[in-house]
Amino acid sequence: MKKRLLTGLQPSGELTIGNYIGSIRQVANYQDEYETFLFVPDMHSITVPQDPETLHRRVREIVGMYIACGVSPTENHIYIQSEIPWHANLSWILECHSYMGEMSRMTQFKAKSEGKKEIGCGLFTYPILMAADILLYNADVVPTGADQKQHVELARNLAQRFNKKYGETFVVPEPLIPKFGAKIRDLLDPTKKMSKSAENPKASIFLNDPEKAIRKKIMGAVTDSGEGVVFDEENKPGVSNLLTIYSCFSNMPIADAEKHFEGARYGDLKKEVAEVVVEALTKLQDKYADVMKSGIVDETLDRGRDEANAIAHETYEKARKVVGLGRV
């Protein structure tokens, strides 16, 4: 039997090339090796204020984009978190087995609540909901960015704690570090990662950006002092980021890309980077438009909901019974 892989991509902003390289394309690479669970964690997104209409729209867009990027809508379980009631139910049981101390150490919570007067409780308990997302499906591996590793660690701890107290109930998940890990950085501040919720839209390339905007943003990317197109993240973070983007979109190893740009000026580098990104994203956008027109998103989500619901319900029932809730 194939091992199970599970991951979620929050509908917290328009998708960027960082999400594409770091997450969506990875899933497309893994789907043959693993039984894959891919879901939209919309319940996580409301830990911070959201516009309801935008949230509805983004949920479907993310699924459409996954399919356009080559994630098979029939071979994988693709679903929306909020359509499966067992996430919130299991989350409550797990909450009652979590400690204030361990939750207070979560760095993302500390970062997101810093300086805020009113801090939503959901922001604090979010990692427990994430543990429920993972444990409900007995996931073996969870691909994550570095920022989510601590949350997967909590899911492991909760699974172990629960199994010890009540007997084997959950599979203990492992974080999975991407095989071809590349971090795409902010175009205007390459010390930060490119992010879908960045304040300045010029800092990120969105998967749905028109050609003109893509070229403009890349030509306006911050480069470094001096000359020479070399990969040196410490001294030339801007140039290194552009080289990374080039390498990812042209499928050329960084070292070969460096050779390719030997003697080139920063302007030449930017033009070529823009070229490969425009080519890839234009194709992607055409596919995406077809997907969104086809009705496949809702078909996929209906099927995914039914499959996921059956699996999650079974796990939830086990957990519910061993802790003594309801009837045997």
202 as an active site residue: the answer is: no
Is residue 183 part of the contact set for ligand ATP (CB under 6 A)? yes
Active-site residue, selected from the candidate residues 2, 112, 149, 216: 112
Other CB atoms within 10 A of residue 286 CB: 11
Residue of 116, 117, 179, 196 marked catalytic: 196
Q: Which tokens belong to 121?
A: 């409780």
Torsion on CA atoms 68, 193, 248, 173, rounded to nearest 10: -70
Closest CA to 194 of 237, 247, 227, 226: 237
304: partner contacted, choices ligand ATP, ligand LTN, none (Cβ within 5-8 A by kind): none
Phi, psi of 145 (to 5 degrees): -80, 165
Q: Which is nearer to ligand LTN, 125 or 223 (CB)?
A: 125
Stretch in the footprint of ligand LTN (CB under 6 A) among 1-9, 97-105, 260-268, 295-303: 1-9
* Burial track 73-102 (b if 16+ CB lie within 10 A, e otherwise): beebbbbbbbbbebbebbbebbeebbeeee
Binding span for ligand ATP by CB under 6 A among 9-17, 113-121, 169-177, 265-273: 9-17
Beta carbons within 8 Å of 316's beta carbon, 6+ residues apart: 86, 89, 90, 136
Among 14, 61, 83, 133, the residue binding ligand LTN under the rule CB under 6 A is 133
- Rule CB under 6 A: say whether 45 interacts with ligand LTN: no
Q: Which is nearer to ligand LTN, 69 or 257 (CB)?
A: 69
Instruction: Give me the count of residues in the chain.
Output: 328
Pair 84, 309: CB distance under 8 Å: yes
Question: Is residue 287 flagged as an active site residue?
Answer: no
Closer to ligand ATP at the Cβ: 28 or 322? 28
Which one of the listed residues 116, 193, 217, 293 is annotated catalytic? Answer: 193
Residue 310: CB atoms within 10 Å: 10
Helix, strand, coil shares of the chain, percent, nearest 5, are 55, 10, 35
Answer with the entry of ligand ATP, ligand LTN, none that 19 interacts with (C-beta below 5 to 8 A by kind): ligand ATP
Neighbours of 125 (CB within 10 A): 18
Q: Which option in ligand ATP, ligand LTN, none does residue 273 bind, with CB closer than 5 to 8 A by kind?
A: none
- Judge whether 164 counts as a catalytic residue: no
Q: What is the secondary structure of 46-61 as a DSSP string?
A: TTS---HHHHHHHHHH
Nearer to ligand ATP, 196 or 270 (CB): 196
Q: Does 148 bind ligand LTN (CB under 6 A)?
A: yes
Given the complex with ligand ATP, which of 142 and 297 has the nearer CB atom? Answer: 142
Q: Which spans of this chain sit near ligand ATP (rule: CB under 6 A)? A: 9-10, 12-13, 16, 18-19, 21-23, 144-145, 183-184, 193-197
Which sequence positions are flagged as catalytic? 112, 193, 196
Q: Which spans of this chain sit near ligand LTN (rule: CB under 6 A)? A: 6-8, 10, 41, 44, 130, 133-134, 142, 144, 148
